[in-house]
Amino acid sequence: MLSECILVSSKGEVLVDKQFRQDVCKSSSGGFIAKVKGDSAARIPPHFMEGDIHYYYIKRSGVYFVATTKGTEVSSILVIEILSRVYHLCKDFCGVINTDTIKANMVLIYELLGEVLDFGYAQLMSASKLKPYVQSEPVLVKSEGTQDVMVPGLFGLERRVAPSHAADKPVIRSRQDQEKRNNEIFVDIVERVTAVVDADGSLSRAEVSGQVNMKSFLAGAPVIKMGLSEDLTITKGKQKGYNKVQMDDCSFHPSIDLKEFDNNRVLGIKPTEGELVVMTYHIGGENLINLPFRLTHRIEFSSTRNLELHLKLRCELAPSAHAVNVGLKIHVPRETGRITQQFSCPGQSAILKQEEKCMLWQIKRIEGGSEAASRFMLISQDKKLLNSEEVGPATLDFELSNHVCSGLKVRFLRVFEREHSYLPQRWIRYITVPDNYLFKLATTE
């Protein structure tokens, strides 16, 4: 049983402090803030003790969600799961979570905390069931304009692309919004790629963890049928079947109807208000995944005894896909004083981060099928010879839209309401992000 739940900003400001049992002294939040101030924050484990108070926390978008308990009978895993759920609820009701939105929605969050944890025990924690008991309206914190954006597509036709923050609206609608019902559904297929590539280019490890998320703004609770790729197979095979979508295992949300899944790969979903994780899946095995990026590299000593690094990053996808915010973080020898660079095309930049002993090469955008090349010169600080073995590994960060490594596709999405069915406004996004995308540059012994 939790004694209190506190939301703290990363700067150490207490945003919300809800007491449940009044058995913890008022300075408990001070104890937490003192501990996580400064750059040792990443070293503090999610559960620690100060005096006789147990602190538990999760960190999301720069905000700490903290819980305290007294006594040791509480399961730590339970408290962390409760905090994760509190975060998701606040997100469902407020849209986006950051320090500003929490400050603007303080009253709503106090109401939520009061309803979900009575005397420190978890009660109802699902957004749709809580809605009748929460009276406050969410306050939206303004960002840029919310117009739909027109993007040039094929053959000169323009496609409507919802700006990313259209999906950031709170799912639990306020009273005013309910009058104008937009029948919209957002489906995100998000895949996290793990890849480790050796210095000679061979793949030593590759896995993909994927999630199909649905955010429904449909009124009522109609049944939705979502059809996935027909050639989807779920086996633990080692070889990839030709053109098939193959995954090791997958699990579904308990409320999903799987009657038609075996034959047609169709899921029956009854979305309640709020975000829903429809399906999670995992693909392991190096043969099954087409990696989106390949890096070729060459390290040599230049005539002036500095290290020259030639890098070529190629995006191996179809031209319709593109990656943005591509960053390659390369570890460099400790004696590196400065770097000079030469890029193949504009839109790139590189900086040397001395404290972390690494170089960050940033490319704003790479189109599918194209590559970015550059040449860096690593210049030593004190004329000492740089050790070429200290170069690498290189970790890659990117946001890939319109492509997922597994090839999973949503074939159709239809709403069935009583006698008739209709097509709602469907926004389907395919996003790939790296979990751990690593290239080893120097050969190890």
Partner 1 sequence: MSLSHILAKPELQTDVFACRQAITQVLVAVSKGEDTSLLTPQMVKHLASNDLVIKKLACLYLEKCANQKNEDLLLALNTLLKDCADPNPTIRGLALKTLCSLRDAELMQYSLKPLKLALQDQSAYVRRIAVMSCARIYKSLPLVIDDLGLVDLLYGMLRDSDPIVVVNCLHALNEILHSEGGVVVNRKIAYHLLNKLEELTEWGVATVMDVLTNYKPKSENEVFEIMNILDKFLGHSNSAVVEATFKVFLHLSKDLPHIKTEIFKRIKPSLVSFLNAGNPEVCFMILTFIDENILPESGDLFADDIKSFFCKQKEPVYLKVKKLKIIPMIASEDKVKNALDELMMLSKDHSIEVAQNAIFAIGKIAVKHNCHLGTCISRLVSLFHLNVDYISSSVLQVLKSLDIDQLGELEKIFHGLEQCAEVIQDPEGLCAMFWLLGEYGEHIDDAPYMLEDYSEKLGELCDTGVKLHLLSACVKLFAKRPAECQDTLGKLLEFLMIEEKDCDVQERARFYFHLLQKDVEYTKRLVLSR
Per CB under 8 A, residues contacting partner 1 are 1, 14, 17, 19, 21-22, 26, 42-47, 57-58, 75-78, 80-84, 106-107, 110-111, 114, 118-119, 121-126, 133, 135-136, 192, 194, 204-205, 207, 209, 251, 253-254, 280, 282, 331, 334, 356-358, 387, 389-390, 393, 395, 435-436, 438, 440, 444-445
The CB-of-27 to partner 1 minimum distance in angstroms stands at 10
The CB-of-79 to partner 1 minimum distance in angstroms stands at 9
The CB-of-124 to partner 1 minimum distance in angstroms stands at 7
Question: Closest CB to partner 1 among 116 and 309?
Answer: 116
Question: Closest CB to partner 1 among 139 and 413?
Answer: 139
Question: Closest CB to partner 1 among 98 and 136?
Answer: 136
The CB-of-121 to partner 1 minimum distance in angstroms stands at 5
Question: Closest CB to partner 1 among 244 and 329?
Answer: 329
Question: Closest CB to partner 1 among 77 and 423?
Answer: 77
Structure tokens at 180: 């104008």
The CB-of-401 to partner 1 minimum distance in angstroms stands at 19
The CB-of-425 to partner 1 minimum distance in angstroms stands at 29
Question: Closest CB to partner 1 among 144 and 445?
Answer: 445
Question: Closest CB to partner 1 among 119 and 422?
Answer: 119
In SS3 terms, the chain reads as: CCCEEEEEECCCCEEEEEECCCCCCCCHHHHHHHHHCCCCHHHCCCEEEECCEEEEEEEECCEEEEEEEECCCCCHHHHHHHHHHHHHHHHHHHCCCCHHHHHHCHHHHHHHHHHHEECCEECCCCHHHHHHHCCCCCCCCCCCCCCCEEEECHHHCEEEECCHHHHHCCCCCCHHHHHCCCCEEEEEEEEEEEEEECCCCCEEEEEEEEEEEEEECCCCCCEEEEEECCCEEECCCCCCCCCCEEECEEEECCCCECCCHHHHCEEEECCCCEEEEEEEEEEECHHHCCCCEEEEEEEEECCCCCEEEEEEEEECCCCCCEEEEEEEEEECCCCEEEEEEEECCCCEEEEEECCCCEEEEEEEEEECCCEEEEEEEEEECCCCCCCHHHCCCEEEEEEEECCCCCCCCEEEEEEEECCEEECCEEEEEEEEEEEEEEECCCCCC
Question: Closest CB to partner 1 among 51 and 114?
Answer: 114
The CB-of-75 to partner 1 minimum distance in angstroms stands at 6
Residues in the chain: 445
- Given a contact cutoff of 8 angstroms between Cβ atoms, the answer to whether 441 and 297 are in contact is yes
The CB-of-148 to partner 1 minimum distance in angstroms stands at 31
Question: Closest CB to partner 1 among 15 and 166?
Answer: 15
The CB-of-420 to partner 1 minimum distance in angstroms stands at 33
